[in-house]
Structure 1
Amino acid sequence: MGCGNAESSTLVGRLNNGDDPNTVISQELPLWVYASGQRLPGLVRRRNAEIELAQKPTRRRALPKRC
């Protein structure tokens, strides 16, 4: 997802509102699997991998990318 889409997304809005990140990620990322109106299997796999990675414990603090 590009910066423009991310900035206006419910995913970022919910995170900025303090919603639980694991809940937001598992509910919102699966919606980002379309390109030109078509659901792409590669994006489905990628989002599932991103969800799995995001839910792994870490001691590192996430830094938001500046758009």
Structure 2
Amino acid sequence: MACTCVETVNAKLKERNTRLEQAMMFGECNHDRLMLRTEQVETGRGKPKAVAMFLTFCPFCGVKYDG
């Protein structure tokens, strides 16, 4: 990653026993990316499932992630 925002935020979240979720991506880019999880609003048969998105820019400072 090109910035240290994840480390900074995780240090602040540590006192609440929490951290940002990161995922290792394989294939075209082999490095950690921040993952933004979503919540499914409506549940039930035939309803679309919640998704997760891998961010290409830091949501805190706007710097583009490497790769």
Structure-1-length-normalised TM-score: 0.25
Higher strand share: 2
Query: Relative contact order: is structure 1 or structure 2 higher (C-alpha 8 Å, sep ≥ 6)?
Result: 2
